[in-house]
Each structure stands twice: as C-alpha cells, then as structure tokens.
Amino acid sequence: MNGRHDLRGTDGEIVIVGGGMAGLVAANFAAGSGHKVLLLEKGQEIGGRAGTTVRDGVSFNMGPHALYCHGALFRALHELQVPFHGAPPNPGRSLFLTEQSVYRFPQTFWQVLVSRLLNFRERRLFLQILGRGIATDPRTLDSTSVADWIRQLAGTGRLADLFHTLMRLTTFVNDPEHQSAGATLEQFQMGQKGGVWYVDGGWTSLVEGLRRRAVERGVAVRSSAAAKHVRTGPNGTEIELTDGTRVRAGAAILAVPPAEAVGLLDLDEDHPLHGFNRTRRVGRCACLDIALKRLPRPDERFTLGLDSPLYFSVHSSAAKLGPDGVAVAHVMKYLPADEPVQHEETRNELETMLDRIQPGWRAEVVTSRYLPNMTAVPAIPTIDTRGTQDRPDTAVVGRPGIFLAGDWVGRQGQLVDASAASGRTAAAAAIGSLSGSTAPATRRHGPVLLDV
C-alpha cells in the first residue's frame, strides 16, 4: 500500500481490519448502507482460516469445513446473492471406530434398534434422549458442562461415549469439563434441523464470492496491509499500519482474533477484553488433509472415533475438490484443550486410523498436508462465559467508534456462523455510530491514508 494514496469519498466512512469471513461479511453489509468502506488484510491473500490451498489440482480447505444450512453465513450469502455450489455429505457406509472394533453408524430408527453398538437398555435410552434433547431449551444448560450434562443423560459407558463423539463433531471442541452444554446443544440442534453442505472448489469460492460482491458494492480491499495500532480521538478513529501509514475514518471494525484485538487497542490490564483474552480456552485440531487416486474401500467415506477423538470424512464425495475420481479427505483429531501437542505421535495416530478403515491407502496418495496444531475455535463457549451469552459484545468498552467481529464475538452462533452474525452486527453498529459523528475530518474525507 502506498502511504500517499488518498481515498476520499462520502461522509461517515468505515475501515475494517481483517479480511477473514467476519471482515468480508462486515464489509458487504457496511457498504450496502452507502458508506465508503476500506478493508485491510495483513496477509497477501484474504480469507483467513476460510482460505483454500490448491496442490496438484486438489483443493484443500484448512481442515474439514461444512456450511450449516440454518446458519448465519448461509443466510448472509443468500441475502448478498453470492453464488456457490455444493451438496450435503454423501457418507456411504458410515462407521464408529473403537480400539477393538468397528461398528455401523446407526442413521435410522431401525438401525438404532438392531445396532451392535449399544445394548438394549442403551438403545432405548438413546432414542428417548434424542427425543427430549431436540426440544430442550439450550439456555437452561449454559452453565452446565458437557461432561456433567452427558453424565446426567447417559451415565458412563458406550452411550456416553457416543454423545461425546457427536458433540465433538458438532463443535470441533474436545473440552467436556469446561465446554458449555447449552452452546453445544444449540449447535447440535441447528445441525439436526438443517444439515450441512460441502462447498465446490473449497471455501475459497465463498471468500472470492464475498470479495467480489464487496468490490461491486464499492469496498476498497487492500492486502499486505497490517495494522499496528487502532486509536480513537477528537478526529474519529485512526489506524496506524506497520509501514507507518495512518488511516483515518469515522468508525473501525476489528475482525481479528482476540489477542490481536487486544494488541491493536493497547488495552489496560483491567479492561474486560484483556480479561477475556487471558482466560479463553482454545479448541484445536490436528488434521491430515489427503488426496487419494482411489479409495481402497469406496463405500466407507465417514468414520468417527468412539473411544478416541478422531474424525475421517471424504468431502469430495459431495463437493468438487479435485480431478474426477480423486478422493479428497480429512483425517483429524480433536485435541484436548489443556494438553501439549505431540506432533509425530498424533500424525501416527491419524495414519493408523486410515490403515484400519482404508487399508492400502499409502499406495494411492496423490498429495497430502499435515496441520499439527490448527486453531478451530479461538474461544470455546464455556460454563464461565455461560456458553455464548458472556462473549465480548461488538462494541468495545471505552472505545467509541470501534467494534469487534469474529467467531468469538457476540451471543449468536458458533464457528463461522458467529463470524457472519457478528460481522453483520458490527457493520450495523458502525453505521449507527456515524450518524452522530461530528468529527470534521470524517465528514470531509472518510477513510484517508495519511503521510507520516
């Protein structure tokens, strides 16, 4: 970015720091109001954790990504008329894996009744719990841990293992003693009602669609533009970049991770956002992204670990992610929140899982990538935050004109749906803040890149 480049436009301009999903959604809805919007992304490419890497013609998302059909992102994409294509998962003969055995994943009432996975008492209780669980108000469980909730529902043993497995699948979190049962149940209910899609071309197609729509709406998108400080003053909001450039505008939206937001704002130790950042618990995964010339067992495209936090899914069975016939899959472990990552040991665990469910896979590898310590959830909804209820609001306390967006912000949604929901809320809040702005520089110029 050239420090002498001057963006002059209409009154009341908005600068967004961060070009991930939250920032892109915020930019689109902010620009839809008629305000001139500038989006700054520190990396060379926009998209953040929604980015897609192409290797040998194969599109790898950063681990498994699914678009919830009843989620805030799905709604935003349709409202913004962002085109995308995909389909629901096509799991084939789904399996549960234990250390000793492999079981068929019961997907119908009849399969539950005849499954060897559970004994008769557990099968009956499982069906009763599903009936009650869908109707339960998640807010009544916000301060109850997933571990306590499942113990109350199912005791211990195989049935409890089954529910832990389903909750990990729904939330990408392996932290049952701290994770909020209310937030977890809410996410599970949404998945049951609407299902998910795998997206053709990987999630970069959604990123590019949102970027293209934002540009059509007048958003200026700048990559390789890293923010260093964000300040408020009598002339509105000022963003200082690492190259010394200063950007001035009426309002700013920080669509960045919690620690980055704290650093940009240079907050006092006793600020609520500082406290949230210190105490948040992070959901992490280790993932082996892999493309195979063929599946040794083509009908077995989805497997979950029952007594271990493991996941396997062939996403190319539903979405176009590579050349015809190539199977694109993700093998993943939901890492415990408190344990150090054992990189090679975990990779061996993932490869051993593949050996069991797709024997002979090693001879079929087209390309692969290992992500040993991937952040899936930067701030787990815990019992201490009452699920999503006590997550940071979009408005930053004590910093008028500065707002937050991300998958750790606001009460609505989890994962990327929280990004979309908070991005939209932050855009509305930023627009609202400008209506009372009296800063002369903001009225005259909007976002202006200033020489230093």
pLDDT digits (tens, 9 = 90+) for 415-438: 999 999 999 999 999 999 998 643
* Band of pLDDT at residue 115, cut at 50, 70 and 90: confident
Q: What tokens appear for 404 in the block?
A: 């937050």
Verify that 249 and 391 share a domain, yes or no: yes
Helices (H), 172-269: 181-194, 204-216, 258-265
User: What pLDDT, on a 0 to 100 scale, did the predictor assign at position 436?
Assistant: 62
We report the CATH number of the domain holding residue 409 as 3.50.50.60
pLDDT digits (tens, 9 = 90+) for 149-160: 999 999 889 999
Verify that 287 and 276 share a domain, yes or no: no
Verify that 275 and 388 share a domain, yes or no: yes
One-letter amino acid of 47: G
Residues 6+ apart with CB under 8 A from 191: 68, 170
Residue 7's SS3 state is coil
To 5 degrees, how large is the angle CA 238–CA 239–CA 245?
Answer: 110
In a domain, 144, yes or no: yes
- Least confident stretch, 267-271, 378-382, 392-396: 267-271
Rounded-to-integer distance, Cα 196 and Cα 146, Å: 23
Verify that 168 and 43 share a domain, yes or no: no
User: What pLDDT, on a 0 to 100 scale, did the predictor assign at position 431?
Assistant: 95
How many other CB atoms sit within 10 Å of the CB of residue 100?
6
Verify that 296 and 363 share a domain, yes or no: yes
User: What pLDDT, on a 0 to 100 scale, did the predictor assign at position 127?
Assistant: 83
% helix / strand / coil in the chain, to the nearest 5? Answer: 35, 25, 40
In a domain, 126, yes or no: yes
Would you say the pTM of this structure is higher than 0.85?
A: yes
More confident residue, 339 or 219: 219
In a domain, 199, yes or no: no
In a domain, 127, yes or no: yes
Rounded-to-integer distance, Cα 66 and Cα 204, Å: 13
Verify that 261 and 336 share a domain, yes or no: no
Query: What is the per-residue DSSP string for 428-450?
Result: HHHHHHHTT---HHHHHHSSEEE
Residue where a domain stops, chosen among 193, 213, 229: 193
C-beta of residue 443 within 8 angstroms of C-beta of residue 11: yes
% of residues, the chain, pLDDT over 70? 93
| Phi, psi of 222, deg, nearest 5 | -125, 120
Domain encompassing residue 139: 119-193
Verify that 295 and 256 share a domain, yes or no: no
We report the CATH number of the domain holding residue 338 as 3.30.70
User: What pLDDT, on a 0 to 100 scale, did the predictor assign at position 378?
Assistant: 98
User: What pLDDT, on a 0 to 100 scale, did the predictor assign at position 116?
Assistant: 84
The domain total for the chain is 3
User: What pLDDT, on a 0 to 100 scale, did the predictor assign at position 84?
Assistant: 96
Q: What tokens appear for 284 in the block?
A: 């992490």
C-beta of residue 426 within 8 angstroms of C-beta of residue 37: no
Verify that 257 and 298 share a domain, yes or no: no
Rounded-to-integer distance, Cα 333 and Cα 312, Å: 9
Looking at every residue in the chain, the average pLDDT score rounds to 91
User: What pLDDT, on a 0 to 100 scale, did the predictor assign at position 114?
Assistant: 75
How many other CB atoms sit within 10 Å of the CB of residue 382?
24
Question: Quick one: CA torsion of 412, 148, 133, 64, rounded to 10 degrees?
Answer: 60
How many other CB atoms sit within 10 Å of the CB of residue 224?
14
Q: Flag whether pLDDT at 287 surpasses 60.
A: yes
Q: What tokens appear for 225 in the block?
A: 């533009």
In a domain, 61, yes or no: no
* Band of pLDDT at residue 111, cut at 50, 70 and 90: confident
Rounded-to-integer distance, Cα 334 and Cα 317, Å: 23
Average pLDDT over residues 81-103: 94
Residue located via tokens 């420090």: 3
* Band of pLDDT at residue 4, cut at 50, 70 and 90: very low
Verify that 253 and 326 share a domain, yes or no: no
Q: Flag whether pLDDT at 372 surpasses 60.
A: yes
* Band of pLDDT at residue 113, cut at 50, 70 and 90: confident
In a domain, 64, yes or no: no
Residue where a domain stops, chosen among 349, 377, 405: 377
Rounded-to-integer distance, Cα 312 and Cα 332, Å: 6
Among candidate residues 135, 133, 169, 134, the one with its CA nearest the CA of residue 150: 133
One-letter amino acid of 381: P
Verify that 129 and 164 share a domain, yes or no: yes
Residue where a domain stops, chosen among 193, 227, 243: 193
% of residues, the chain, pLDDT over 90? 79
In a domain, 447, yes or no: no
In a domain, 315, yes or no: yes
Q: How far is CA 111 from the centre of its chain?
A: 32
Verify that 217 and 298 share a domain, yes or no: no
Q: Which own/partner pairs from 70-75 qualify as long-range (CB within 8 Å, at least 24 positions apart)?
A: 70/190, 70/193, 70/194, 71/190, 71/194, 71/413, 71/416, 71/417, 71/420, 72/412, 72/413, 72/417, 72/418, 72/420, 72/421, 72/424, 73/21, 73/25, 73/206, 73/416, 73/417, 73/419, 73/420, 75/420
User: What pLDDT, on a 0 to 100 scale, did the predictor assign at position 134?
Assistant: 66
Verify that 241 and 289 share a domain, yes or no: no
Rounded-to-integer distance, Cα 147 and Cα 124, Å: 21
Q: Flag whether pLDDT at 12 surpasses 70.
A: no
Number of helical (H) and strand (E) elements in the chain, helices listed first: 13, 21
User: What pLDDT, on a 0 to 100 scale, did the predictor assign at position 133?
Assistant: 61
* Band of pLDDT at residue 445, cut at 50, 70 and 90: very low
Q: What tokens appear for 12 in the block?
A: 């009341």
